[in-house]
């Protein structure tokens, strides 16, 4: 394996799909990542069960050993609390065990297609809300945010949007052309931080983008009961 080549493991569990794969970066800073293996497993309730075995599968398919990896890229959401933390904890633990840098990426950035124009990315946030962000010429100009779909539709009614991608059921609400991308891609995850990976820049700490409090709440402390005799 040439010294100019770098191999990256990508992980995202911010949506109902487990997305994992291996990509190769060469020495050309303008070149897109070459995806050597990718798996998209749609099972939102089995992230933890699926992820470890899928990582092994993509490494075997790509014929890349763990010791050949140069970095790990992890989708940091926004996403539901339980699923998101599975991918982030696994990615961080994997990187730490191998002494690799772990780079965090906004998962919506990894859904937005490259190119010019105005793009809206929406994913299911549950609780009758969506996570969303808007992009112009490949750059995020708004978001990520979590909002009720009707409120986003109304707010963006007068905004030029050439394409909507992400959750199909929610993308159709905006009355604009809907693109094929529905979940983060390995190419999108790696491309978002390719410059940092190539330059071996020190990564920022991985911070999950929950955008709201987790569903689970600590029980309120009960007042002591006074026992009368």
* pLDDT one-digit tens code per residue, 31-45: 999 999 999 999 767
Question: From the CA atom positions of the chain, what is the Rg in Å?
Answer: 19
The predicted structure's pLDDT at residue 23: 98
Consecutive H or E run containing 125: strand 118-126
In the predicted model, is pLDDT for residue 229 greater than 90? no
pLDDT, tens digit (0-9, with 9 covering 90-100), for 173-187: 999 999 999 999 999
For residue 87, the tally of other CB atoms under 10 A from its CB is: 26
- Write out the residue limits of the CATH 3.30.420.40 domain(s) in the chain: 6-107+184-199
| CATH class held by domain 6-107+184-199 | alpha beta
Mean pLDDT (the chain) is: 92
The predicted structure's pLDDT at residue 113: 92
- The answer to whether 121 touches 112, Cβ cutoff 8 Å, is yes
In the predicted model, is pLDDT for residue 219 greater than 90? no
- The answer to whether 146 touches 212, Cβ cutoff 8 Å, is yes
127, β-bridge pairs: none
Q: How far apart are CA 143 and CA 158, in angstroms?
A: 17
SS3 of 54, please?
helix
pLDDT, tens digit (0-9, with 9 covering 90-100), for 190-205: 999 999 999 999 999 9
Encode 102-123 in three state secondary structure.
EEEECHHHHCCCCCCCEEEEEE
Q: Is the N-terminal amide bond of 31 cis, ω within 30° of 0?
A: no
Q: For residues 19 and 83, which has the higher predicted lDDT (pLDDT)?
A: 19
- Fold annotation for 112-174: Nucleotidyltransferase; domain 5 (3.30.420)
The predicted structure's pLDDT at residue 96: 97
- Write out the residue limits of the CATH 3.30.420.200 domain(s) in the chain: 112-174
In the predicted model, is pLDDT for residue 20 greater than 60? yes
pTM above 0.85, yes or no: yes
The predicted structure's pLDDT at residue 43: 77
């Amino acid at each position: 394996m040439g010294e100019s080549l770098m191999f990256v493991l990508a992980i995202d569990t911010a949506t109902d799909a487990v997305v994992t794969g291996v990509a190769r970066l060469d020495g050309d800073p303008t070149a897109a990542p070459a995806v050597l293996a990718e798996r998209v497993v749609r099972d939102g309730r089995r992230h933890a069960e699926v992820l470890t075995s899928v990582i092994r599968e993509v490494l075997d398919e790509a014929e890349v050993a763990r010791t050949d990896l140069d970095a790990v890229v992890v989708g940091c959401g926004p996403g539901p609390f339980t699923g998101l933390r599975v991918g982030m904890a696994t990615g961080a633990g994997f990187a730490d065990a191998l002494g690799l840098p772990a780079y965090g990426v906004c998962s919506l950035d990894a859904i937005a297609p490259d190119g010019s124009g105005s793009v809206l990315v929406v994913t299911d946030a549950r609780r009758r809300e969506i996570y969303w962000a808007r992009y112009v010429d490949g750059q995020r100009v708004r978001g990520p945010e979590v909002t009720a779909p009707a409120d986003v539709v109304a707010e963006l009614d007068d905004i030029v949007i050439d394409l909507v991608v992400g959750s199909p059921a929610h993308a159709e609400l905006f009355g604009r052309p809907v693109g094929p991308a529905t979940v983060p891609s390995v190419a999108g995850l790696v491309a978002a931080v390719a410059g940092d990976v190539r330059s071996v820049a020190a990564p920022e700490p991985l911070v999950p983008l929950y955008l709201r409090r987790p569903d689970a709440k600590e029980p309120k402390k009960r007042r002591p009961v006074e026992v009368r005799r």
